Amino acid sequence: MLVAEDDEVLAEAVAVGLRREGMAVDVSLDGDDARTRLALTDYDVVVLDRDLPGTHGDEICRSLVAERSATRVLMLTAASTVKERVEGLGLGADDYLPKPFEFAELVARIRSVARRPATPPAEFSYGDLSLDPVARVAFRGGLRLDLSRNELAVLECLLAAEGKPLSAEQLIKRVWDDDIDPFTGTVKSTISRLRAKLGEPPLIETVREIGYRIGGP
Quick one: pLDDT at residue 136? 82
Where do the CATH 1.10.10.10 domains begin and end in the chain? 124-214
* DSSP category for residue 53: S
CATH class of 2-114: alpha beta
SS3 content of the chain, % helix, strand, coil (to 5): 40, 20, 40
Domain topology for 124-214: Arc Repressor Mutant, subunit A (1.10.10)
Q: Using the 8-state DSSP alphabet, how is residue 120 labeled?
A: P
What's the pLDDT at 180? 65
- Looking at per-residue pLDDT, the higher value among 174 and 23 belongs to 23
| Numbered ranges of CATH 3.40.50.2300 in the chain | 2-114
For residue range 179-196, list pLDDT tens digits in order. 666 556 888 999 999 999
pLDDT band with cut points at 50, 70 and 90 for residue 212:
very high
| Long-range contacts of the stretch 124-132 (C-beta < 8 A, 24+) | 124/156, 124/159, 124/160, 125/159, 126/159, 126/203, 126/214, 126/215, 127/203, 129/159, 129/198, 129/203, 129/214, 131/155, 131/156, 131/159
- Higher pLDDT, residue 79 or 169: 169
Mean confidence (pLDDT) of the chain: 86
Out of 101-115, 118-132, 158-172, pick the least confident.
118-132
Q: Residue 120 pLDDT more than 60?
A: no
Mean pLDDT, rounded, for 138-143: 93
